[in-house]
A and B are shown apart, each in its own frame.
Chain A
Amino acid sequence: MAIIEATNVHRSFGKGDLAIHVLKGIDLTVEEGEFVAIMGKSGAGKSTLMYQLSALDDPSDGSIVIDGTDVVPLTERERTEFRLNTLGYVFQDYALVPDLNARENVMMPLLMKGMEWQAASDRADHSLDNVGLEGKYLNLPGMLSGGEQQRVAVARALSGKPKIIFADEPTANLDSVSGQQVIDLLTRLHQDSSQTIVMVTHEPEYAETCDRIFYMEDGQITDIKTK
């Protein structure tokens, strides 16, 4: 069953003759429980595609249906609510709130969902345990290594039990060991709980672990490779 259906998605920046067409009619489907990678050279439009698929940006044209909801016409408020309840994010540079410790960073979306403080705290600790950060609950992001910070970000993305996790080059800022750990973590999640994951990456060896790979070039999907 398709959890993401993108149909004829266009994304342009600027107007008239100066307009830059970054996405040129993307059609893409991601099945529930699938782990897919989007690959391509710099400027191919893979991150822009991910922003459309993850309801962070509006396409210039086309439709995107996520988990049965057409996200394009949603207001900003509805979209924020939708992202909270349906999606999880892992950004390239971890994107943790520097003033909050690891536990509090993970608790944020849980509290926003209305969970009680203690329950959110317990869930956050559990998520941190799952990513191998036992006992580092009170560490501020600045006290953690890059790999550990990215694992906190994964724990944050996971804690709300989202339908889909979007990972935007999650290993780009990490050394090879830490990068591999993060990929292993995502793979384990996918295998253990059939988590749907959409990952943008430059690294072919990391993409190899995915069920499908979408290759992009010049704003279009040029190839799809299935495992």
Chain B
Amino acid sequence: MRSLRIGLLLGIRQIQRASVWTTFLIIFVMMLTFLNLIAVSGILVGLIAGAERAVRAEALGDIVITPQDGEDYILETESLVRKLQTFPEVTAYSVRYAGGATMEANYKERRDLTGERDTASVQVTGVDPVLENQMSGLADTIVEGEYLDPNEEGYILIGAYYIEEFAEQFGDIFDTVEGVKPGDTVRLTAGTISKEFIVKGLIQSKVDEVNLNTYIPEREFRRVFGRIDRNADQIVMRVKPVGREDAVKAAFLSLGLDRLAKIQTYDEGKPKFITDIKNTFNILGTFIGSIGIVVASITIFIIVFINALSRRRHIGILKGIGIERRAIEIAYVIQAAFYALAGSALGALLVYGVLVGYFERNPIQFPFSDGILVAPVDETFVRFLVLFGITLIAGFIPAWMIARQNTLNSILGRK
């Protein structure tokens, strides 16, 4: 306790009397270290989190209902929809019918009937255009043309990656048709049924489920795919307030809806690879950040070592007049703690006061994601504790090295 009191006095006074610029510089280095630790992994994770957020917003919603294992479709879809409509928490939903088809384009202009046809295997989703737009904001993804009008028939929206001009950056990965624009005619063939559609719009998003999809009104879907039972492939919904999805799901289960379909929250239903990539990036970010910690600890070590070495004689004199070695070590540990705390506090202020909000408003435009900065407070706190602990050790070791030297040798400046 006595040592702590004297260590505090010595440490605080050394900080107070130190050069302002030197102190500022050290704190700045610590702040950069903190940012390196938080922001690098935060942006890497944010890259996936941005993609995940987009999938949730534009494709899967907060709760996803899919067919039970062993079933082709959601049973008693209409009855199920009527029940979910009674939940005030469900603010939007969309019933989706899905099937695979061949889309042919440019057949009217084709002169050589023996030549290769311009076709692509496509995913077709039948939706209620109004409900789908309320749920996923599909209309906002239109890049050319217009969104489906619920009162019109014979129109289709085509995902950008089915159009060669949009997908050429990916080489031959996707099956595409060439030069299709709004107003052109395409032909969908599913089994033995074919139907012509006028391209109403082209859609493009950061979500592949949208880019690799075509949308037509559900009644036309049923006609093309011969689906007369009205049982859907997927029901997605948005729930408010945010975070209530578990409670809503539990309510669905209590109504026995799980007899008809598999009911999952977004977190349960999202593709596993998203979680895996997120964890991988988190580890990668931590690894990169830990290099910053090593640099910072060496910086602190050098700073404290030089500081203690230049005061070696004073340290000797303090020991000479009866001050315990521990008090002197505490003084330097307190300095290191101050630098770590001040740097981390400034870093945290910058992360939570500026960067998180900034990247929320201005996401980084990655090809497959609107990258944000993810910095959960609990994870940040753990990383701060690591940084703080290592800094204390980096401050203690040089102080211990100098303070343990022979008292008289220190006083006389002897080696």
Q: Which residues of A contact B (CB under 8 A)?
A: 51, 56-57, 76-77, 80-81, 83-85, 87-89, 91, 95, 97-100, 104, 108-109, 111-114, 117, 140, 156-157, 160
Contact = CB atoms under 8 A, between A and B. Distances in A.
Task: Give the residue among B317, B319, B320 with the most A Cβ atoms within 10 A.
Answer: B320
B9 interface: yes
Given A57-B408, A112-B6, A99 B13 contact: yes
B314 A83 contact: no
A51 B408 contact: yes
A91 B323 CA distance: 16
A76 B316 CA distance: 13
Contact of A104 (B9, B314, B323, B411): B9
B16 A99 contact: yes
B321 A83 contact: yes
B13 A104 contact: yes
9 contacts: A51-B408, A56-B407, A95-B314, A95-B317, A100-B9, A100-B13, A104-B9, A108-B318, A112-B322
A89 B411 CA distance: 12
A111 B2 contact: yes
A98 B317 CA distance: 12
Which interface class (under 10, 10 to 19, 20 to 34, 35 or more) fits B?
20 to 34
Given A95-B314, A98-B314, A109 B321 contact: yes
B414 to A, nearest CB: 10
Contact of B324 (A87, A91, A112, A117): A112
B87 to A, nearest CB: 65
B325 interface: yes
B408 A99 contact: no
A202 B309 CA distance: 31
A84 B411 contact: no
Contact of A85 (B6, B322, B407): B322
B2 A156 contact: no
A111 B5 CA distance: 8
Contacts of B134: none
A188 B229 CA distance: 114
A56 B316 CA distance: 10
Q: Which interface residue of A80, A99, A117 has the most chain B CB atoms within 10 A?
A: A99
A226 B126 CA distance: 117
Interface string B352-370: 0000000000000000000
Contacts of B408: 51, 56-57
Query: Closest 10 CB pairs between A and B?
Result: A84-B322, A99-B13, A95-B317, A99-B17, A83-B322, A57-B408, A56-B408, A99-B14, A112-B323, A111-B6
Contacts of B47: none
B320 A97 contact: no
A76 B406 CA distance: 9
Interface in B296-326: 313-314, 317-325
A143 to B, nearest CB: 12
Contact of A91 (B5, B17, B411): B411
Contacts of B5: 111, 117
B322 A97 contact: no
B10 interface: yes
B189 to A, nearest CB: 86
Nearest to A114: B2
Contacts of B13: 97, 99-100, 104
Nearest to A107: B9
A156 B17 CA distance: 21
Contacts of A112: 2, 6, 322-324, 327
Contacts of A98: 17, 314
Given A97-B10, A98-B314, A99-B10, A109 B407 contact: no
Nearest to B314: A97
Nearest to A57: B408
Contacts of B407: 56, 76, 80
A205 B2 CA distance: 42
Contact of B321 (A76, A77, A84): A84
